[in-house]
Amino acid sequence: MKKSHNIAPSKGKNLKGYFPGPVFWDVDPSVLDVEKDKIFIIERVLSRNMGDPQYFELLERLYPISDIVRCAKRSEQIRGNSSIRAVAERYGIRPDHMKNYNPSFG
């Protein structure tokens, strides 16, 4: 069963084609509202950045770093130590302060 996202129609920036690759593979990015869907967008980009600085730079054009950091620390969507370390390094967060970091995997 496909998970449904409660997403409001975009009233601002159209995100279709804004981020490279399949960040929003299951959602039409043109219907995302950059304010109402902020947490969803930040979590999605941080969880699918693959360590590519371009994703971070584009996200930082949309949101203040303080919002990104707050979301990163609270998110349960960011998984895998390599993704967590990339986010942590970019934003000066200790990896063990992120929910899914597993120190036993290095």
Q: What is the pLDDT of residues 27-59, one digit of tens each?
A: 999 999 999 999 999 999 999 887 889 999 999
* pLDDT band, residue 101 (cuts 50/70/90): confident
- Domain span including residue 80: 32-105
Domain count, the chain: 1
**6 domain-assigned:** no
Give the Cα separation of 73 and 19 in Å (integer).
22
Burial status of residue 45 (CB atoms within 10 A of its CB: 0-12, 13-18, 19 or more)? buried
Give the Cα separation of 31 and 44 in Å (integer).
15
**23 domain-assigned:** no
**1 domain-assigned:** no
**5 domain-assigned:** no
CA distances from 90 to 25, 46, 48 (A): 24, 11, 14
**18 domain-assigned:** no
Per-residue model confidence (pLDDT) at position 105: 77
pTM over 0.85, yes/no: no
**15 domain-assigned:** no
Q: What is the pLDDT of residues 53-93, one digit of tens each?
A: 999 999 999 999 999 999 999 999 999 999 999 999 999 99
**14 domain-assigned:** no
Per-residue model confidence (pLDDT) at position 12: 65
**24 domain-assigned:** no
Give the Cα separation of 40 and 35 in Å (integer).
10
